[in-house]
Structure 1
Amino acid sequence: MYGAVGVVTAAALVAGTTGQASAETAKGVDAKRTGKVGQHLRQAIEGLRFQEVLDTAPPSTAQARSARNPVDKELNADRRVASVAAPQPIAQQPQMDATVIELDRRGRPVSSGTVLMSPLYKDGVVVPVDRNLSTKSVRWRQWDDAGWYKNKGQGTIDVVPGRENAPIDHMLDYPASVLKLMVNFGVLRLVDQGKVKLDDTYSYEPSPISSLCGGASKKTIRQYMDASLTYSSNAASCALIKMLHDNQAIDPLNQTFQDLGLETLQLKGTNPANGGRWSNSVTMSSLDTAKLLTLINGAPGRVWTAPDGKPVTRAVLSTESRKFFLSELGQQGFNDMLSSANRCGGDYPAPGIPNAVPSRWIGEDGTVTVDGNKFGQDVRPCNAKAEVAFAHKTGWVNNTAADAGIVRALPGKGGRSYVVVVFSNLGTQYVDAGRPATPPGTYPYSYTEKFSKLGRLIDAYEKHRH
């Protein structure tokens, strides 16, 4: 099944037109400064017609839900499809923020493409970037749950100052659990500074106890990080955030992101008493997230130049810390957005990035169970045909879908290497027409299958490029 889809999608991408950014939606953007991969990415996103998803919660219901939990957004998560009697068409064009950074064999960026889609840019717009993989062409705004409905997807709070006259205006999607990349990067910075060790025991004693974070616990930092990254434990991530606060490391972490030129990466507003309060003030763009992953992946030499003129290199983390980070991301349990490997061989969802599921999650019958969540499909046939390794982190809430990771071809499988990040507001409240019922006793579907189709399109294009 993977092979047939790959041939068709690769041919479609290569044969299609490159599609320039719409002049009426992005006046002043110079499409000539954008890479070919960006034009193909825009075409793929447009062709998948994300606007055809159905909404299981009308705007009034969705806004009421977000109003109940405006602070800890993860508590708004709900996979129930039967929120209304019958799902309705989405109110307007969805938000999309997607980046691909193509890498050479040494892991150095050779080209990139970033595409934004929203009610303002219904056909998608390719973001121009400079030689430092940065852009000043976007006015980044903070996500606003109610504002997406009321203001046609245009936010009101600026994330980066001084961009009022930028030709593109985009409201960043809340990153959901992909924010844990920032958290764990900050922890490893503390490890490299000698302030903590991976095998130190940390006693998490929250006050107050929150529904998001849970009660007290006592584990090694290594154990908390493994739980945070491989099966997305909110409790473990709260403990790590509190530990960062205990070490007065949150403000320095946010400043580090600014110093590196990752201006939209901001872990702000969290509660120092329990590590919770994950709200819209936590921001990430796909471009800056992809750049962070490029450093974690270990690109040699100067990767780009920081705003102060200094070289940015992989030395932002030690070799040991980068290897540990990559190993944890490579053990990701939730392969169910850009990858659909956990549901191998089923009629739904469509095949995504053709990666292998890590063995730690596979039972004797070949099915995947992640932290008690059963997926129910024998993944061994797809693992045998896998073409890439995918070290990544997923995330979701009702109005967020997110996946960010590093793809490397397995030996003899095409040679491609790239970073891919996709953020969208198409979280768990949005479904595909005709989506089958979740098999009894298995983990519910979290995303539209259009994301796995997008992952497959991107990977097929990258394979063809090599």
Structure 2
Amino acid sequence: MRTKRHLLAGLTAALTVTVGVLVAPSAAAAGRTPLDDFLRRTLDGLAFEEVLDTAPPTTAAARAAVVTTDKELATVRRAPVFAPIVQHPQIDATVLELDAAGRITGSATVLMSPQHPDGVIVDVDRNLHTTDVRWRQWDDAGWYANAAQGTVDIVPGREDASLDFMSPYPASVLKLMVAFGVLRLVDQGTAGLNDTYQYRPAEPSTLCGPDYDDTLRGYLDRMITLSSNEAACALIKFLWDNDAVDALNRTFQDLGLETLRLQNTRPSNGGRWTNEVTMTSLDTAKLLAIVNGGPGTLWTAPNGHRVTKNELSRASREFFQSTLRQQGYNWMLSTPNFCGRDYPAAGIPQKIAPRWIAADGTVTLGTDAFGEDVRPCNRAAEVTFAHKTGWVPNSGADSGIVHSLPGENGRHYIISVFSNLGDQYVDPHRPPTPAGTVPVQYTEKFAQLGAIIDHYESHRR
């Protein structure tokens, strides 16, 4: 632990002075790159195991009763005493480096778990595919009761893989899959973005809400920028109404994105988001590489399909990117919504979309008021971050495309992080939430990770 704290102190000091590369990569193993080594050592140095669990199940019966369905409905019951986390958390992180045109020029994926507390590099082939991981479906109770060992395979036939990893639940990052599916239908002429869809759930759902009418464009905007569960339910039902859910899951398989599965949702209302909905950081980053676009073949899937940006039309890609750039919840890998506070740490130095900034400079999203004047951070911003965040008690996730603003150090990369560290877990030093504002939902270690990776990428050319 002492070594990790010293490494984090060194990384933080380097961020403060912002001079040079933060950590000089050590000699990489055969077939691995400096980025592989840098990502693993950065994650290790951040000491994610230092977080506190605000609602730990203290008995076997309590562990067995941990919520396992409809994750977006889960709520945290705060324990009177914040307890150390019982074991090293699950972290799944990927960085894809891109050239100016969007070609993938480098990658790194690292997993952390109780079995791999220092982090383990995932070996991928030249098509950014791996058979070295036995991906397991998330199990809320099993993370406590079974030492984070999953029991349900996501990808079949991986019994002999060298790594066995229970993939964190993706929370609202699953909405990337929904948006991709809807835009595929738009490209196929099934509907237009400006067409009105009448959401009429056949059974009630607290998650999904009542009847609602909006255009597909409107649903997509609210689902991405405000993380609206109601809009997501409507669009999932739209996919079901058009017999497109099974086709979407087959498409992910055909694209070689084997861990992306939008499964077990309800055709009647688009709800029931369970552990059968799965994503991993590598496949999510590759999905975003399609959205970002790039010339030629991005990769070749195991079935021989040459994946290109044309899996979505140019218009759909541009709409998708624009919507992601207008994300309202910038508070995990990037934290400009908390501009100027001592906590949380500053993350990826992104620009906030002007639509969210009031005349006094503050950001309010629905009932979530952030309370800080974000204009100084916008003036100092160096990049756009087209991303989607996700959060429930035991899931924290953020995935997006980073691109330099004009005049800033050139960087173009995709970062994707999934973990079980949702709003149930907090930093020991987290200060009280200012009155009238929304609490910080994640450990600030994610913001530190975002800042460190962004600094590294800004100096690699």
> Which category of TM-score, normalised to the shorter sequence, fits these structures?
over 0.9
Residues 408, 47 of structure 1: alpha-carbon distance in 2 compared, 3 angstrom cutoff: same
Q: Which residue of 2 aligns with 1:13?
A: 22
User: 2-side partners of 1:216 and 1:62: how far apart?
Assistant: 41
Q: Which runs of 5+ in 2 are unaligned?
A: 1-11
Check if 1:93 corresponds to 2:102: no
Q: TM-score, normalised by structure 1?
A: 0.93
Q: Which residue of 2 aligns with 1:46?
A: 44
Q: Which residue of 2 aligns with 1:414?
A: 409
Please give the per-residue CA displacement for 1:4-52, whole angstroms capped at 9, x wherever unaligned: 863657756333546x7xxxxxxxxxx4223321210111110000000
Q: Which residue of 1 aligns with 2:282?
A: 287
Q: Which residue of 2 aligns with 1:217?
A: 212
AA aligned to 2:278 is T
Q: Which residue of 1 aligns with 2:34?
A: 36
Check if 1:117 corresponds to 2:112: yes
Please give the per-residue CA displacement for 1:247-290, whole angstroms capped at 9, x wherever unaligned: 00000000000000000000000000000000000000000000
Please report how far the alpha carbon of residue 101 of structure 1 lies from its aligned counterpart in structure 2 after TM superposition: 0.1
Partner of 1:363, secondary structure, is coil
More displaced 10-residue stretch of structure 1: 63-72 or 376-385: 63-72
User: 2-side partners of 1:67 and 1:249: how far apart?
Assistant: 34
Residues 4, 13 of structure 1: alpha-carbon distance in 2 compared, 3 angstrom cutoff: closer
Check if 1:267 corresponds to 2:262: yes
Q: TM-score, normalised by structure 2?
A: 0.94
Q: Which residue of 2 aligns with 1:368?
A: 363
Equivalent of 2:327 in 311, 315, 332:
332
User: 2-side partners of 1:318 and 1:58: how far apart?
Assistant: 46
Q: Which residue of 2 aligns with 1:454?
A: 449
Partner of 2:415, secondary structure, is strand
Please report how far the alpha carbon of residue 309 of structure 1 lies from its aligned counterpart in structure 2 after TM superposition: 1.5
Q: Which residue of 2 aligns with 1:24?
A: none
Q: Which runs of 5+ in 1 are unaligned?
A: 21-30
Q: Which residue of 2 aligns with 1:177?
A: 172
Q: Which residue of 1 aligns with 2:385?
A: 390
Q: Which residue of 1 aligns with 2:7?
A: none
User: 1-side partners of 2:404 and 2:154: how far apart?
Assistant: 35
Partner of 1:465, secondary structure, is coil
User: 1-side partners of 2:184 and 2:248: how far apart?
Assistant: 8
Number of equivalences:
450
Q: How does 1:183-262 map to 2 (within 5 A)?
A: 183-262=178-257
Partner of 1:100, secondary structure, is strand
User: 1-side partners of 2:294 and 2:59: how far apart?
Assistant: 46
Please give the per-residue CA displacement for 1:305-341, whole angstroms capped at 9, x wherever unaligned: 1222131100000000000000000000000000011
Q: Which residue of 2 aligns with 1:158?
A: 153
Q: Is the 8 A contact 1:66 1:73 kept in 2?
A: no
User: 1-side partners of 2:241 and 2:192: how far apart?
Assistant: 15
Please report how far the alpha carbon of residue 293 of structure 1 lies from its aligned counterpart in structure 2 after TM superposition: 0.2
AA aligned to 1:309 is G
AA aligned to 2:24 is A
Q: Is the 8 A contact 1:344 1:379 kept in 2?
A: yes
User: 1-side partners of 2:62 and 2:383: how far apart?
Assistant: 42
Please give the per-residue CA displacement for 1:84-112, whole angstroms capped at 9, x wherever unaligned: 12201100001000000000010110000
User: 2-side partners of 1:63 and 1:393: how far apart?
Assistant: 35
Partner of 1:33, secondary structure, is coil
Q: Is the 8 A contact 1:13 1:40 kept in 2?
A: no
Q: Is the 8 A contact 1:98 1:422 kept in 2?
A: yes
Q: Which residue of 1 aligns with 2:53?
A: 55
Please give the per-residue CA displacement for 1:168-208, whole angstroms capped at 9, x wherever unaligned: 11000000000000000000000000011111111111121
Check if 1:378 corresponds to 2:399: no
Residues 461, 61 of structure 1: alpha-carbon distance in 2 compared, 3 angstrom cutoff: farther
AA aligned to 1:57 is A
User: 2-side partners of 1:63 and 1:177: how far apart?
Assistant: 29
AA aligned to 2:48 is F
Q: Is the 8 A contact 2:219 2:232 kept in 1?
A: yes
Q: Is the 8 A contact 1:353 1:456 kept in 2?
A: yes
Residues 360, 62 of structure 1: alpha-carbon distance in 2 compared, 3 angstrom cutoff: farther
Residues 247, 432 of structure 1: alpha-carbon distance in 2 compared, 3 angstrom cutoff: same
User: 1-side partners of 2:64 and 2:20: how far apart?
Assistant: 42
Q: Is the 8 A contact 2:396 2:422 kept in 1?
A: yes
Please report how far the alpha carbon of residue 64 of structure 1 lies from its aligned counterpart in structure 2 after TM superposition: 4.7
User: 2-side partners of 1:284 and 1:76: how far apart?
Assistant: 19
Q: How many percent identity over aligned positions?
A: 60
User: 1-side partners of 2:446 and 2:96: how far apart?
Assistant: 18
User: 1-side partners of 2:311 and 2:447: how far apart?
Assistant: 32
Please report how far the alpha carbon of residue 300 of structure 1 lies from its aligned counterpart in structure 2 after TM superposition: 1.4
Q: CA RMSD in A?
A: 1.8
Residues 376, 193 of structure 1: alpha-carbon distance in 2 compared, 3 angstrom cutoff: same
AA aligned to 1:385 is A
User: 1-side partners of 2:368 and 2:121: how far apart?
Assistant: 38
User: 2-side partners of 1:114 and 1:345: how far apart?
Assistant: 32
Q: Is the 8 A contact 2:66 2:141 kept in 1?
A: no
User: 2-side partners of 1:326 and 1:169: how far apart?
Assistant: 33
AA aligned to 1:104 is D
Residues 300, 71 of structure 1: alpha-carbon distance in 2 compared, 3 angstrom cutoff: same
User: 2-side partners of 1:347 and 1:288: how far apart?
Assistant: 34
AA aligned to 1:202 is Y
AA aligned to 1:419 is I
Please report how far the alpha carbon of residue 67 of structure 1 lies from its aligned counterpart in structure 2 after TM superposition: 3.9
Q: Is the 8 A contact 2:68 2:139 kept in 1?
A: no
AA aligned to 1:183 is V
Partner of 2:124, secondary structure, is coil
